[in-house]
Structures are given as structure tokens and as C-alpha cells.
Amino acid sequence: MALSKKKLEVELSEAFIKLHRDLIGRGPQEIKTYIVQDMIIARFKGVLTIEEKHLVSNQYGRKLVKQMRQVLREMHSEEFEEIVEKYTDCTVLSSHSDISTKTGERIEVFILDHNLEKLLEQESKK
């Protein structure tokens, strides 16, 4: 794993965008991925579709969008985790996701079996 932290964060972001496009039909407007100790945190901005934006204007619609996105994420959680494992050479111990119907942002958090940030730091000193 001879990648820098920044380069790995960019590569993870690009892989997440591709998977998001495959699942939803469009990618987020923006994504930023962070490696923080033993966590990968991905922040997706502008993820709601036009239809979802209409639905979230009322309480029932917000609940429906959150439920649908939660079911979709659970169906494809292995694919998200495989991306992280492929790019980091770490095992994903758990992953968590949530979407804000207020801001149209989604967050993904992956807990790894190693402190990846520290490993990358050590690698860069070689």
C-alpha cells in the first residue's frame, strides 16, 4: 500500500461515486472521504433525487425516503465494505450510514481492524 493518505481518500471517493451511480442512477454532487485513525468517513452531498426532494417536503415523505435509503444501503452494504477493504487492505469490522432529508447529505462510516491513518503515516516515512 504505497499510497498517500490524500490519494487514498480520493480513490475511495471515486469508487463510492461509481457505486452510488450504479445503485441510484446518479452520483452525489460532491463527496469527501476522510481517513481518521481506524475509520473511513465519507460525506456525500446532494444525494437526493428530484423525486426524493419532492417527497421530503412532508413528514410522511421524509420517513419514506429515510426508510427506502436505509433498506437500499443494507442490501448493498457488502459492496460498500468491499470497496473499503480492496483499497485499504484492512478488514471492515462494522459500517454505519445515515441520510439527512433536511440537507440532502449522507454519511458513511467504516470501522477498520487497523489504524489505517497510522499505517499510512509509517509508510510515508519509509
Residue 2 scores a pLDDT above 60: no
* C-alpha cell, 34: 476522510
Give me the domain span that covers residue 109: 5-125
Domain count, the chain: 1
Q: What angle do CA 85, 28, 96 make, to 5 degrees?
A: 45
**Judging by beta carbons within 10 Å of its beta carbon (0-12, 13-18, 19+), is residue 67 exposed, middle or buried?**
exposed
Residue 1 scores a pLDDT above 70: no
Q: Which residue has the cell 465494505?
A: 81
Phi, psi (degrees; rounded to nearest 5) at 22: -65, -35
Residue 73 scores a pLDDT above 80: yes
- Cβ atoms of 81 and 95 within 8 Å: the answer is yes
Across the range 10-18, mean pLDDT stands at 95
Nearest of 67, 8, 66 to residue 42 by alpha carbon: 8
Give the per-residue pLDDT at 6: 94
Across the range 33-52, mean pLDDT stands at 95
10 pLDDT band, cuts 50/70/90, is very high
Give the per-residue pLDDT at 113: 97
User: Rounded CA gap, 36 and 78, in Å?
Assistant: 21
Instruction: Tell me the Ramachandran region of residue 47: left when phi exceeds 0, alpha when psi lies from -120 to 50, beta otherwise.
Output: alpha
| CA distances (Å), origin 50, targets 45, 54, 66, 105, 118 | 14, 7, 15, 14, 41
Across the range 72-97, mean pLDDT stands at 95
Give the per-residue pLDDT at 17: 93
Residue 37: CA atoms inside 13 Å, Cβ hemisphere, count? 1
